[in-house]
Amino acid sequence: MDDAHLRALIGERHPVTSPASLRRAEAYLIEQFTDLGLEVSTHSFKALGGTYRNVIGVLQPTETGDSPITRCIGRSNGCPERGQSPSPLIIAAHYDTVEVSPGADDNASGLAVMLEVARNLRGVPLTRSVRFIAFCLEEENLVGSLAYASSLQAAREEICGAIVLECVGYARTEEGSQQKPPILPIAVPTVGDFLGIVGNATSAGLVQALEQAAKQAVPELKTVSLLVPGNGELLPDVRRSDHAAFWHHGYPAVMLTDTANFRNPHYHQPTDTLETLNLAFMEQVARGVTAAAMALCSITQSAVRSRKGMSFWKEAALAVPHLATLVAGLMADRRVPAKAKATLAIVAAYLAMPFDLIPDFIPVLGYLDDLVLVILVFDGVLNQIDEAIVAEYWKGDPATLQRLQAVSRRAARFIPYWIKRKLFGPPL
């Protein structure tokens, strides 16, 4: 990776002790977004007795109107109705620093990767917009990202998800170079050469999309993923960046990180300089995020089936084999309520039948029984059972899972609540 962005950005960028440098970083990001052909704007907010700005560069979708809608990771109403524009994907990094530190890893590395991803995506056919956002005052309790996420909620605007780059430039190969945060519920390698992917249950699909993209496009990039319960309240170390602002307002978001002070001895120190960064590791991260963005937004990556004429409902019917695997896994899981398991047992018995109630060779009607099954079970399973549990057992395309979740919620509104309660019990 070219170090030009790093050389331009590295230096203390603090609102009190180095406000001029903070403004220069803001101007540099506006210039770079403009040079990349993005639609540039700023989001202003009041803090610390002054006005500060988040810098936004938007890469617009190539096609609109009847373009196929790609993966939707957001909340239940995050997938648009026909005729609406698909919700945007956000890729973000903060541009301020703490006092004294020149902020190479924290967070010029994140900014440089974000700019590289923006460059990589130019010319890629997209079905949704990508918003590249440089947040200000992350080091002051996430003030900038909280203001932005709050504005999204006030406008009732949905997003596909937010990918937040937080310290992504420090990697080592020595044994013992990685420390484990306290009370973390997963095993962590003792060599600091991996990228951490941190999400919550709402963001499970986004985490999976990033894992798959990195594995396929950048097999040499090691990743370690963590899904935290709730918004990570029990694990404060996973809430230390702008992704937590999106969690706070109910939006799906992930943090990509080299784990900061659990690996990097220069974290928040005057020694956080360019010489300490691993540019090859940063290049791998940029390639991985680019691949994930393409999978989430690209026509060529995500819409081949739609261009061949596959309707959503046929896609739902073809999900039945994966549904069988999902049902089997949930039936064996102790965390799933007994009443839900009883209903799932009926579903499993139906799936094992050698015949359908309506044979599939009958046009349109042949899929009807399968579709009713998909709608009812997906509404009962995905919306009555913890999403993180469901994600563990779903073996199909995450895009299909997310679309089935959204559509089943809408379709199931026509099924009386008492019936769903009888089948699946009260929501968890």
Would you state the pLDDT for residue 206?
Answer: 94
CA separation for the pair 16, 100 (Å, rounded): 11
Region of 250 please: left (phi>0), alpha (psi -120 to 50) or beta.
left
Topology classification of domain 4-305:
Aminopeptidase (3.40.630)
The 3 state secondary structure assigned to the chain is: CCCHHHHHHCCCCCCCCCHHHHHHHHHHHHHHHHHCCCEEEEEEEEECCEEEEEEEEEECCCCCCCCCCCCCCCCCCCCCCCCCCCCCEEEEEECCCCCCCCCHHHHHHHHHHHHHHHHHHCCCCECCCEEEEEECCCCCCCHHHHHHHHHHHHCCCCCCEEEEEECCCCCCCCECCCCCCCCCCCCCCCECCEEEEEEEHHHHHHHHHHHHHHHHHCCCCEEEEEEECCCCCCCHHHHCCCHHHHHHCCCCEEEEECCHHHCCCCCCCCCCCHHHCCHHHHHHHHHHHHHHHHHHHEHHHHCHHHHCCCCHHHHHHHCHHHHHHHHHHHHCCCCCCHHHHHHHHHHHHHHCCCCCCCCCCCCCHHHHHHHHHHHHHHHHHHHHCCHHHHHHHCCCCHHHHHHHHHHHHHHHHHCCHHHHHHHHCCCC
Q: Which residue has the tokens 């999976």?
A: 208
Would you state the pLDDT for residue 183?
Answer: 86
Q: pLDDT tens track of the chain, all 428 residues?
A: 889 999 999 999 999 999 999 999 999 999 999 999 999 999 999 999 999 999 999 999 975 444 433 445 545 434 554 456 789 999 999 999 999 999 999 999 999 999 999 999 998 889 999 999 999 999 999 999 999 999 999 999 999 999 999 999 999 999 999 999 988 889 999 999 999 999 998 999 999 999 999 999 999 999 999 999 889 998 999 999 999 999 999 999 999 999 999 999 999 999 999 999 999 999 999 999 999 999 999 754 443 333 344 455 455 555 555 666 777 777 778 888 777 777 667 665 654 554 444 444 444 344 444 555 556 665 655 556 676 677 777 766 666 666 666 666 666 566 566 655 555 555 54
CA separation for the pair 104, 118 (Å, rounded): 20
> What's the longest Cα–Cα distance across the chain?
73
Burial track 165-183 (b if 16+ CB lie within 10 A, e otherwise): bbbbbbbbeeeebbeebee
Distances (CA, A) of 368 to 311, 349, 350, 363, 417: 14, 18, 14, 10, 21
HSE toward the beta carbon, residue 314, CA cutoff 13 A: 10
Strands 253-257 and 161-166: parallel
Q: How far apart are the first and last CA of the chain?
A: 46
Would you state the pLDDT for residue 359?
Answer: 44
Contact partners, residue 92, CB within 8 Å, separation at least 6: 114, 132, 133, 134, 135, 145, 162, 163, 164, 165, 242
Would you state the pLDDT for residue 85?
Answer: 77
CA separation for the pair 426, 428 (Å, rounded): 6
Q: Find, among 236, 240, 215, the residue nearest to 225 by Cα.
A: 215
Beta bridge partners of 53: 44
Would you state the pLDDT for residue 305?
Answer: 34
Would you state the pLDDT for residue 217?
Answer: 92
